[in-house]
Amino acid sequence: MTSQIGGLIRFSMGPLMGLAILLSAGCGSDAASEAPVGELAMTLVATSPLGVDYQLRDALFLIRGPQDEDVSSEDYPPEQPVIELSLASGSYQVTLQDGWRMEYSANGQAYSPIEAMLVSPNPADVTVVFDQVTPLTLVFAVNGTMINFGPGTLGIAIEVNEILLSIDLSSSALPIGGPEVGYTGTVVNPNGELPSVGVQTSIDQGATSCLGGGTIVHCEGAAFPALAPGTCAFDDAIQARNSPCAGGTLVPGPATARFELSLASRDSLDIRMPLDEVQIPVTLVAAP
């Protein structure tokens, strides 16, 4: 699976846009002339610049405010470009219920399920203002690339922004069971605030893999444990140890230090989605 079928999928509001929700308020019909009304227009399919199609299925949106509505993606044919619903202007909460699923299609093949995680606030607070368009963004993590379905009137404006991890290891010699070896990590987040991003380290040697420690990546600009947009440098350490391990034990000799960057769900820090990975050749040595 290549990066073209992964990433952070940003559902943004915009007319006739893929993977979008559009809330707008305007003049209503005569029957609704006592209060300004508008539209909820939803499109749940989009195509990336690399030709990969995404669609959100089994999606149930609960819209609560001056006018309560429940909208299901399955009540409409997948090929229908826009789902429209009249709404009164005012403050709303839009909740995506559990049970949704993401699918993708590459090179014209049949749609297949792909793991995804909703990382933006749910429910989302929006205000529908008379005769204006109110933006609403839902962000889904897939594999580490932000596919931004931005607003536009002539189609889908898409940017691809990777969340990148770099590691500067202070020494390539790691003593087994000995002192930790420090490193400086840098995470580049060109997207919005993310709920929790962490680095899990491990030492791989043949069929053996042992955990080496981990940390939450956090810098100023967001309340812990969230990660703010921009570049975040952090210091931590990795340790070569024989517990916990899978597949055997570590012995002196060549190995690989692996640093995995992952994103946690807003609902549970135990549910994580891989974002990026760095592998560095190291030499395991006997502890002094």
Over residues 101-159, the pLDDT tens digits come to 888 887 778 888 887 777 777 898 877 777 666 666 666 666 554 444 333 222 222 33
Instruction: Give the model's pLDDT for residue 272.
Output: 72
Write the CB contacts of 28 (distance below 8 Å, at least 6 apart in sequence). Answer: 35, 36, 37, 38, 86
Write the CB contacts of 185 (distance below 8 Å, at least 6 apart in sequence). Answer: 165, 166, 167, 168, 199, 217, 233, 234, 235, 236, 259
Query: Do 232 and 217 form a contact (C-beta atoms < 8 A)?
Result: yes
Mean pLDDT, the chain, as a whole number?
A: 76
pLDDT band at 163 (very low <50, low <70, confident <90, very high): confident
Query: Do 229 and 190 form a contact (C-beta atoms < 8 A)?
Result: yes
The pLDDT of residue 64 is above 70: yes
Give me the DSSP letters along 229-254: SEEEEEEEEE-B-SSSEESS---SEE
* Predicted TM-score of the model (pTM): 0.62
Q: Decide which of 67 and 10 is more confident.
A: 67
Mean pLDDT of the region 262-281: 77
Tokens 């949106």 sit at which residue? Answer: 61
- Which residues of the chain are in CATH 2.60.40.10 domains? 164-286
Which residue type, as a one-letter code, is found at position 181? Answer: V
Q: Which two tokens stand for residue 206?
A: 């043949």
Over residues 200-257, the pLDDT tens digits come to 999 999 999 999 999 999 999 999 988 998 999 999 999 999 999 999 999 999 999 9
| Closest residue by Cα to residue 88 from 42, 30, 127 | 127
Instruction: Give the model's pLDDT for residue 166.
Output: 95
Over residues 7-30, the pLDDT tens digits come to 454 444 332 223 444 555 544 444
Query: 164-286 — its CATH code?
Result: 2.60.40.10
d(CA 107, CA 3): 14
pLDDT band at 47 (very low <50, low <70, confident <90, very high): low
